[in-house]
Amino acid sequence: MSKTFLFDALREATDEEMEKDPSTFILGEDVGHYGGSYKVTKDLHVKYGDLRVLDTPIAENSFMGMAIGAAMTGLRPIVEGMNMSFLLLAFNQISNNAGMLRYTSGGNFKIPLVIRGPGGVGRQLGAEHSQRLEAYFQAIPGLKIVACSTPYNAKGLLKSAIRDDNPVILFEHVLLYNLKGSVPDEEYVLPLDKAELVRKGSQVSIVTYSRMRHHVMKAVESLVKLGYDPEVIDLISLKPIDIQSVVTSLRKTNHLIIVEECMKTGGIAAEVIAQINDNYFDLLDAPIIRLSSQDIPTPYNGNLEQATVINPLQIINSVKVLLS
């Protein structure tokens, strides 16, 4: 095991898969000579050349369409969105083409496409650069969606996504690139459809993903000192949602809190709540608590920006209320 930054873990995964398979290539804005906005592709153009690390114009709809066409012909493109918000400009290609072509072609085409890049609320990036798009894409049939939260799962998930024959969106959080964590020296991959049990507990199940995992674990430190015993699950897979892992936890605790950075209306938490209420309502001893971002454009002002996002104190207070 070695300590690695999250952006380096993603870079290692990309490098290893490109070295192994000549059909794998990366494209996007500034991924080549500049090395990517967050240095995930740093120096890869030196090793693989400008045709496998392809700098594109500022034209998301065009290069997304090109990537999908490349995937249809047997290549394995990785599209980096400089900011995931920009990929709304390619929403038509992602939904009508990437998500549906394997089905509408009767299985004649595979779409081994990875779409990855930074999202989430950063530090004063403004409303247009602070979007959480997981719920936008979750409704699209044919996509797989994962959200990494540590260097370990970032590397394992990206390698699995590159090898998958279906389109996969990997959400990275803009504030986690400099997170340092242990990554195995030997090769490994992680499943794209499984949640991670982060901490075992007996009183309340706290379900989360992406950067909120770290807010939850900070809250858990305080909760344990107060005598509480929370169980923590990192969803990781946002489509499909690994609801069975949530249910297994709920059978023990009978209490559920969902913590997300996504918008409250129509967010990932809303889908989890719907599935639990539809099929496992009798496991609940109390209503589910949903802690989500406020339904407003993220303010540029730093204090207002922080007020829109869930913090550890809110998680602590919610556990107290739920178990009182």
* CA–CA separation, 158 and 120 (whole Å): 18
Tokens of 271: 């889908």
Given pLDDT bands bounded at 50, 70 and 90, which one contains residue 220?
very high
Asked if 55 and 29 count as a contact pair (C-beta separation under 8 A), the reply is: yes
Given pLDDT bands bounded at 50, 70 and 90, which one contains residue 39?
very high
- How, if at all, do strands 2-5 and 180-183 pair? antiparallel
DSSP 93: I
> For residue 248, what are the CA distances in angstroms to 35, 80, 151, 213, 255?
42, 35, 26, 19, 12
Query: Mean pLDDT, to the nearest integer, of 228-257?
Result: 98
> For residue 151, what are the CA distances in angstroms to 8, 157, 170, 238, 258?
8, 10, 13, 18, 23
Given pLDDT bands bounded at 50, 70 and 90, which one contains residue 282?
very high
pLDDT tens profile 84-100 = 999 999 999 999 999 99
Beta-carbon contacts of 246 under 8 Å, excluding residues fewer than 6 positions away, are 195, 205, 207, 233, 235, 256, 272, 276
Q: Beta-carbon neighbour count of residue 233 at 10 Å?
A: 25
> For residue 101, what are the CA distances in angstroms to 27, 49, 147?
21, 30, 24
* CA–CA separation, 235 and 194 (whole Å): 7
Residue type, 92: N
* CA–CA separation, 99 and 97 (whole Å): 6
Query: Mean pLDDT, to the nearest integer, of 278-304?
Result: 95
> For residue 45, what are the CA distances in angstroms to 62, 74, 158, 291?
21, 21, 19, 42
Sheet containing strand 114-119, strands side by side: 53-55, 24-28, 76-80, 114-119, 168-173, 144-147, 237-239
* SS3 state of residue 12: helix
Query: Mean pLDDT, to the nearest integer, of 168-191?
Result: 97
Superfamily of domain 2-183: Thiamin diphosphate (ThDP)-binding fold, Pyr/PP domains (3.40.50.970)
Tokens of 168: 């996969």
pLDDT tens profile 53-91 = 999 999 999 999 999 999 999 999 999 999 999 999 999
* CA–CA separation, 19 and 198 (whole Å): 32
Asked if 194 and 242 count as a contact pair (C-beta separation under 8 A), the reply is: yes
In this prediction, residue 94 carries a pLDDT of: 97
In this prediction, residue 37 carries a pLDDT of: 93
Active site residues: 60, 129
> For residue 119, what are the CA distances in angstroms to 84, 232, 311, 316?
5, 23, 18, 26
Q: How many residues does the chain have?
A: 324
Q: Does domain 196-322 have CATH number 3.40.50.920?
A: yes
Asked if 298 and 130 count as a contact pair (C-beta separation under 8 A), the reply is: yes
* CA–CA separation, 26 and 51 (whole Å): 9
The H-or-E segment that residue 28 falls in is strand 24-28
Q: Where in the chain is the domain with CATH 3.40.50.970?
A: 2-183
Given pLDDT bands bounded at 50, 70 and 90, which one contains residue 285?
very high
Q: Where in the chain is the domain with CATH 3.40.50.920?
A: 196-322
